[in-house]
Amino acid sequence: MASFSSTISSPRHALSPNTFVHEAKHKRISGSHCRTFPLHSQRSPICRMGFISRFERKETTKHQIFASVTDTTVDKSPEKVKLPKGDIWSVHKFGGTCVGTSERIKNVANVILSDDSEGKLVIVSAMSKVTDMMYDLINKAQSRDESYISALDAVLEKHRSTAVDILEGDDLGSFLSQLHHDISNLKAMLRAIYIAGHATESFTDFVVGHGELWSAQLLSSVVRKNGVDCQWMDTREVLIVNPTSSNQVDPDYTESEKRLEKWYSKNQSKTIVATGFIASTPENIPTTLKRDGSDFSAAIMGALFRAGQVTIWTDVDGVYSADPRKVSEAVILKTLSYQEAWEMSYFGANVLHPRTIIPVMRYDIPIIIRNIFNLSAPGTKICHPSADCYEDDQRLESFVKGFATIDNLALVNVEGTGMAGVPGTASAIFDAVKDVGANVIMISQASSEHSVCFAVPEKEVKAVAEALQSRFRQALAAGRLSQVAVIPNCSILAAVGQKMASTPGVSATLFNALAKANINVRAIAQGCSEYNVTVVLKREDCIRGLRAVHSRFYLSRTTIAMGIIGPGLIGSTLLDQLRDQAATLKEEFNIDLRVMGITGSRTMLLSDSGIDLSRWRELQKEEGVMADLEKFIHHVHGNHFIPNTVVVDCTADSLIASHYNNWLRKGIHVVTPNKKANSGPLDQYLKLRALQRQSYTHYFYEATVGAGLPIISTLRGLLETGDRILRIEGIFSGTLSYIFNNFIGSRNFSEVVAEAKQAGYTEPDPRDDLSGTDVQRKVIILARESGLKLELSDIPVESLVPEPLQASASAEDFMQKLPQFDHELAAKRQIAEDAGEVLRYVGVVDVVKQEGEVKLRTYKKDHPFAQLSGSDNIIAFTTTRYKDKQPLIVRGPGAGAEVTAGGVFSDILRLASYLGAPS
């Protein structure tokens, strides 16, 4: 039988497994032929490792490998040095990325040297990717893939080259000697695995643990190189754990403390570099601490030393209020309570594994999360919520500290009237789930006991559903249970905060934020501790929901993705107004309006982060692509970094307006001065308004009637406060207001129209204004807002376009022929003047008679309608509160790009207020 020795630590610290190759048929060889030998002045066991060197080829598939470690040698002499415990010790844990290169190992050494604590315990992981490389060695050997040899050579070279970079002299020679010795032994072990085709878990743990051994030796050597006495610790000599499952162990604190005292009596030092991740069982078999084992090591050792604090060094500045990859406005939390960190880590936040927190909680040892690559960042402190620890001045009134999500889940709903009041039903359900090894992440049950709903990982839901169908086959057949339903494609969103407990309104605020983002909640759970509220959402809604609730609780900028349709006169003016006001809105009102797309009829400009509005015209020419409304909407609404989307339609296009209903259903808000939707077919209007009322998706159209004047909002205010509208009468066209305000004296009508056209008050074809159709649309909008169910055709219109000219070939032809008909309006003006009156073109809604009209009327010169100047609009509301003699008057500019764009802008800001911005 061939044999060899394997040393798994430095020449001064020898500890190795006793490995045997066994034939199958469940035979185990008792006894290990192990002996212990003293090494210099320090004692550690060396095991002789025996392997059967010859195998019959036909038996190789039956071989297994087992590993064990001998008991540490007991020193019978009295212990002279006792480990000093308490605040004198600071614990630092450095992950694989922190020691991933020779330069980073030097940086870590500098951090250790700069700590002025009396005692420093450093827990170190394997170099970056080394643990994966070690597992890969095992997998290759078990698969009889001979490339494990070259893979092992890569492990050797990674550590050799690192050592050459940072060590020199005897330290370098000693490390390289030990490294080659370990690699030689590993090669023999992997060869045995290759032959047997299998390795036990303990053997795998032993092999994988070498990464930590090497990094600890390298780091301790660098610290010593700087003139500081430093010992390195193989924590398998000290840390004893009891495996409780394949992925969990429980520390044996009593035995670990005994072994720590023995270790320290022989290795007194104020600076200790210890291996993370690895430990031993009570039988001295190598094992690991499983998931996030290095953090767990640091917490356990911190508890054993009763340290003042444990610092976990990583590559982020601390714990964020939400995943910064999903919420760009996420902030670093200065403090977290143990319970908050526990809850957030359970729900997927990259904080700490929940078990890491348990050891330090016992002794009130704070954990600091810091960034090794940004030493200026103070990090996040995890501790008990005392007055000096639990303060977060970023927003003192925020009762929710953070948000976390878990994706790729499915809901299972077991439902039936036969469940109510029947003991053992829930037990039977979860026994079936346990039998298939599935993990239940969340449970929700109403007090009616009619159904039990729970979330499991999507990859496990099929097995769970089949197990439940089998377990309850008889109950389903008999009708006591109605169904076992699976709802796939779900995600969990959890809000966490210790101050949530007993604070009214937290859940209401959470659900309100989700509702305003048009997100449906599928299931809800809240523990009696009230530290977290958990909701289940559609997977595609999860990121949007996360951003919506984070924004609501943290008063981060209310960010709205905007798509501008129609960069014509009004649209371009709006874009310029947005450009000029953007900085003020962000700084003073926490509103971030990002224009993600601009489209005209031919060209569209798209951006993933927001168009630079200072040069949008240039960008549209340089980067514009062919317009495609469907692609445009998908781009603007599909940006998952922004929870809210608004489409601003600055056209007068009925085709664009026909999409409003569909956009609102998708959760896209709509703001527009386009009158076509609200003045179109009545049934479509009613559907649009019903949809608006039923959802939290908003549809604002103030600028459809009076440009920037508050006409729609005034009307709604009257109705909502219980007033009754009797009559609405007004001059609704700025163009026609200008024309009749200037149609005085001996001036001809055609002359004034030409002047208005020259000044830009009219449409390119003045017939569009003089026909009265625009006023007719405004009248029908107000009539419908007042509750009248009228079609546009129900509103008679007196056109100012002479009938013979209605079919003119062009606007120029019309303007040339219009003077031929000046006498008609001149005669009407004369009649009005003779009666002491003036002509005004008005729209009227008579709510009492349930009718409306658009016509040319006369008014006494002291009437408010006769007092207008320029292109002002004026609207009079006669109600039960505001009588005929003193109606409610709204007056102001009712035409022009500036005021119309301003009205649209005002609607956008009102939307932002509804979505959570300060009002």
Measured on CA atoms in the order 248, 250, 255, 257, is the torsion positive or negative?
Answer: positive
DSSP string, 840-905: EEEEEEETTTTEEEEEEEEEETTSGGGG--TTEEEEEEEESSS-TTS-EEEEEE--SHHHHHHHHH
Look at phi and psi of residue 421 and say left if phi exceeds 0, alpha if psi is from -120 to 50, else beta. left
Phi, psi angles (nearest 5°) of residue 46: -120, 125
Task: Assess contact for 297 and 353: CB atoms under 8 A.
Answer: no
CB under 8 Å to 393, separation ≥6 — which residues? 334
Task: Assess contact for 284 and 101: CB atoms under 8 A.
Answer: no
Nearest-angstrom CA–CA distance, 727 and 725: 6
Helix (H) or strand (E) holding 48: strand 48-50
What is the SS3 string spanning 411-428?
EEEEECHHHCCCCCHHHH
Inter-residue long-range contacts of 654-663, CB under 8 Å, 24+ positions, other chains counted:
654/680, 656/565, 656/566, 656/629, 658/684, 659/629, 659/633, 660/688, 660/699, 661/687, 661/688, 661/691, 663/633
52 pLDDT exceeds 80? no
Nearest-angstrom CA–CA distance, 220 and 228: 9
Nearest-angstrom CA–CA distance, 911 and 793: 32
Q: Categorize the per-residue pLDDT at 33 as very low, low, confident or very high, splitting at 50, 70 and 90.
A: very low
Task: Assess contact for 648 and 699: CB atoms under 8 A.
Answer: no
Higher model confidence: residue 580 or residue 609? 580
What local confidence, expressed as pLDDT, does residue 492 receive? Answer: 93
Nearest-angstrom CA–CA distance, 421 and 337: 39
Give the chain's length: 919
Question: Burial code of 460-474, b = ≥16 C-beta within 10 A, e = fewer?
Answer: bbebbbebbeebbee
60 pLDDT exceeds 60? no
What local confidence, expressed as pLDDT, does residue 447 receive? Answer: 67
Radius of gyration of the chain (CA): 39
SS3 state of residue 352: coil
What local confidence, expressed as pLDDT, does residue 808 receive? Answer: 81
Question: First CA to last CA across the chain, in angstroms?
Answer: 84
What local confidence, expressed as pLDDT, does residue 498 receive? Answer: 83
743 pLDDT exceeds 80? yes
Percent of the chain scoring above 70 in pLDDT: 87
What local confidence, expressed as pLDDT, does residue 425 receive? Answer: 81
Nearest-angstrom CA–CA distance, 782 and 719: 12
Q: Is residue 856 packed enough to be buried (19+ CB in 10 Å), middle (13-18) or exposed (0-12)?
A: middle
In tens, the pLDDT along 509-567 reads 888 888 877 889 999 988 666 688 999 999 999 998 998 888 878 755 678 999 999 99
Task: Assess contact for 298 and 360: CB atoms under 8 A.
Answer: no
In tens, the pLDDT along 156-196 reads 999 999 999 999 999 999 999 999 999 999 999 999 999 99
Nearest-angstrom CA–CA distance, 756 and 735: 7
Could you say which of 778, 789, 817, 828 is catalytic?
778
The whole-angstrom distance between residue 216's C-alpha and the CA centroid of its chain comes to 37
Task: Assess contact for 231 and 81: CB atoms under 8 A.
Answer: no
- Please indicate whether residue 80 is annotated as part of the active site: no
Residue with tokens 């700084």: 587
Phi, psi angles (nearest 5°) of residue 521: -100, 125
Crossing angle for the helix pair 169-196 and 130-142, to the nearest 10 degrees: 30
How far CA 349 is from CA of 128, 144, 298, 321, in Å, comes to 21, 39, 20, 9
265 pLDDT exceeds 60? yes
Nearest-angstrom CA–CA distance, 301 and 235: 9
Nearest-angstrom CA–CA distance, 750 and 600: 34
Nearest alpha-carbon partner for 121 in 220, 210, 7, 9: 220
DSSP string, 245-256: ETTEEEE-HHHH
Q: Which two tokens stand for residue 298?
A: 């640091």
User: Residue 587: what residue type?
Assistant: E
Q: Categorize the per-residue pLDDT at 835 as very low, low, confident or very high, splitting at 50, 70 and 90.
A: very high
Nearest-angstrom CA–CA distance, 812 and 796: 28
Task: Assess contact for 900 and 872: CB atoms under 8 A.
Answer: no
Nearest-angstrom CA–CA distance, 650 and 684: 20
Q: What is the mean pLDDT of the chain?
A: 85
Q: Which two tokens stand for residue 883?
A: 């009588």
Q: Which two tokens stand for residue 7?
A: 């040393």
Task: Assess contact for 284 and 71: CB atoms under 8 A.
Answer: yes
Crossing angle for the helix pair 616-623 and 569-589, to the nearest 10 degrees: 120
User: Residue 906: what residue type?
Assistant: S
In tens, the pLDDT along 93-141 reads 999 999 999 999 999 999 999 999 999 999 999 999 999 999 999 999 9
Percent of the chain scoring above 90 in pLDDT: 63
Nearest-angstrom CA–CA distance, 3 and 1: 6
What is the pLDDT averaged over residues 346-371?
Answer: 86
Nearest-angstrom CA–CA distance, 279 and 256: 10
Which residues on adjacent β-strands are paired with residue 456?
A: 410
Task: Assess contact for 311 and 381: CB atoms under 8 A.
Answer: no
In tens, the pLDDT along 468-518 reads 999 888 888 888 888 899 999 999 999 998 878 767 888 888 888 888 778
Q: Is residue 914 packed enough to be buried (19+ CB in 10 Å), middle (13-18) or exposed (0-12)?
A: middle
Task: Assess contact for 640 and 327: CB atoms under 8 A.
Answer: no
669 pLDDT exceeds 50? yes
790 pLDDT exceeds 90? yes
Residue with tokens 């508890």: 303
Q: From the CB of residue 386, how many other CB atoms can be counted at a distance below 10 Å?
A: 11
74 pLDDT exceeds 70? no
Q: Is residue 804 packed enough to be buried (19+ CB in 10 Å), middle (13-18) or exposed (0-12)?
A: exposed
Nearest alpha-carbon partner for 65 in 158, 154, 138: 138
